[in-house]
Amino acid sequence: MPATLCIDELSVSFAHRTGTVEAVDGVSLRIGPAECVGVVGESGSGKTQLFLAVMGLAGNARVRGSVRFEGKELLGATAPAINRVRGSKLTMIFQDPMTSLTPHLRIGTQLAEVLVCHSGLSWAEARDVAGRMLERVRIPEPQRRLGQYPHELSGGMRQRVMLAMSLLCGPALVIADEPTTALDVTIQAQIIELLRAMRGEAGTALALISHDLAVVAGLADRILVMYAGRIVENAVAAELFRQPRHPYTAELLKCVPSLSGPRLARLPTLAGQPPQPGDALQACPFAPRCPRAADRCRTERPLLTGASTSQVACHFPLS
């Protein structure tokens, strides 16, 4: 089966006064049709930069490597070629719905504009489609909402609008960058439910970026764990939670508080700090915090090895 998104050796680096900072350091990954891949990692692990680079939104960062979407190379493609794909077949939902809608345009206009741009519909037809899409993301009174401005909608409502916008042209892949972080917990659950339903109905592939393991656990088929700009583990979701192989994943899972277990006086945390931009990295960036680190981890870079559904970048993986 050909991959929907195929990233090879992608690096994103920023010029910094102390030299270049590698926000993403040689990442390769594949997302198949209708597959949901969760990408987890701490703040600064490069998970957002990775997908911004895929969307061509990396700004003034230097992007190297290859990003193929449905077989077509996106890096270095012309702006019109990218814009044909972007927003129709490849869409993105951002973290903060409060600021992701243009404040002076009505909801209906913003949604319709995407269709007018990509599908060549007339404004009237596009508004109809937009109204039906709002209904699909379970927004009450969709016709009234079309005429409203973003500030008249709540955060959860706006995130639904963003979701509707991303689904308008029947995308092959939706990238959701922490779609629930800015929302409160009950709304979070509704959005997750909606994402799940959307996958079931439309067969859209989903890249779900999050630092919240619980969000990812409920949705993803496969999970990628990122640390310091690299993928350190790639595993089927259930396997990852049952038997993590990278020490970092294992430590992360220990930090998740349990509802049923004994009440702990103090939540376990990872010792040490994640590397800061500009820090000199060891061959394995996790080595300074790793309970299993040995000399080899400081001299030889661990590569991501193993079958495509169970990969780990560690010299001494857990088994």
Partner 1 sequence: MRGFAGDAIRRLRANPAAVLALGVICTVVVATLLGPWLNPNNTETLDWLHVAARPGLQNAHWFGTDRLGRDLYARTLAGTRVSIAIGLVASILSILVGVSYGAISGYLGGRTDQAMMRIIEILSGLPLIFFVIFLTVIFGRSESLLFISIGAVGWLTMARIVRGQTLSIRQQDYIAAAVASGASSSRIIARHVVPNVIGPVIVYATLTVPQIILFESFLSFLGLGIQEPGASLGTLIAEGVGEMEAAPWMLLVPGSFLAVLLLCLNIFGDGLRDALDVREG
Q: What single-letter amino acid sits at 197?
A: A
185/196 Cα distance (integer angstroms): 17
Going from the C-alpha of 249 to that of each of 227, 241, 253, the distances in angstroms are 10, 9, 6
Regarding 8 and contact with partner 1 (CB under 8 A), the answer is no
292 lies in the site for partner 1, by CB under 8 A: no
Nearer to partner 1 among residue 41 and residue 97 (C-beta): 97
Q: Does 5 bind partner 1 (CB under 8 A)?
A: no
286 within 8 A of 227, measured Cβ to Cβ = yes
96 binds partner 1 per the rule CB under 8 A: yes
The stretch near partner 1 (CB under 8 A) out of 31-39, 102-110, 120-128, 232-240 is 102-110
What is the nearest approach in angstroms of partner 1 to the Cβ of residue 4? 17
What is the secondary structure of 257-299 as a DSSP string? Answer: PPSSSPPPSS----SS-PPPTTPPPPSSTTGGG-TT--HHHHH
Contact stretch for partner 1 (CB under 8 A) within 29-37, 100-108, 211-219, 274-282: 100-108
153, 165, 237, 312: which one binds partner 1 (CB under 8 A): 165
> Which residue among 38, 41, 46, 87 contacts partner 1 (CB under 8 A)?
87
Say whether residue 56 binds partner 1 (CB under 8 A): yes
* Alpha-carbon gap, residue 63 to 300, rounded angstroms: 25
Separation between Cα atoms, residue 237 and residue 270, nearest integer Å:
22
Considering the complex, what minimum distance in angstroms separates the CB of residue 264 from partner 1? 37
Contacting range for partner 1; rule: CB under 8 A; set: 16-24, 161-169, 196-204, 231-239? 161-169
Q: Mark the segment that binds partner 1 (CB under 8 A) among 81-89, 121-129, 133-141, 231-239.
A: 81-89
149 interacts with partner 1 by CB under 8 A: yes
Beta-carbon count within 10 A of 207 CB:
26
Per-residue exposure over 269-301, b if at least 16 CB sit within 10 Å of its own CB, e if not: eeeeebbeeeeebbebbbbbbbeebeeebeeee
Is 83 near partner 1 (CB under 8 A)?
yes
Burial bucket for residue 128 (CB in 10 Å: 0-12, 13-18, 19+): middle
Site for partner 1 contains 104 (CB under 8 A):
yes
What pairing do the DSSP bridges indicate for beta strands 72-73 and 230-236? unpaired
Is residue 57 near partner 1 by the rule CB under 8 A? yes
- If one asks whether residue 162 binds partner 1 (CB under 8 A), the answer comes out as yes
Contact yes or no for 82/19 (Cβ under 8 A):
no
Closer to partner 1 by Cβ: residue 174 or 213: 174
Residues that bind partner 1 (CB under 8 A): 55-57, 60, 79-80, 82-88, 91-92, 94, 96, 99-105, 113-114, 117-118, 149, 162, 165-166
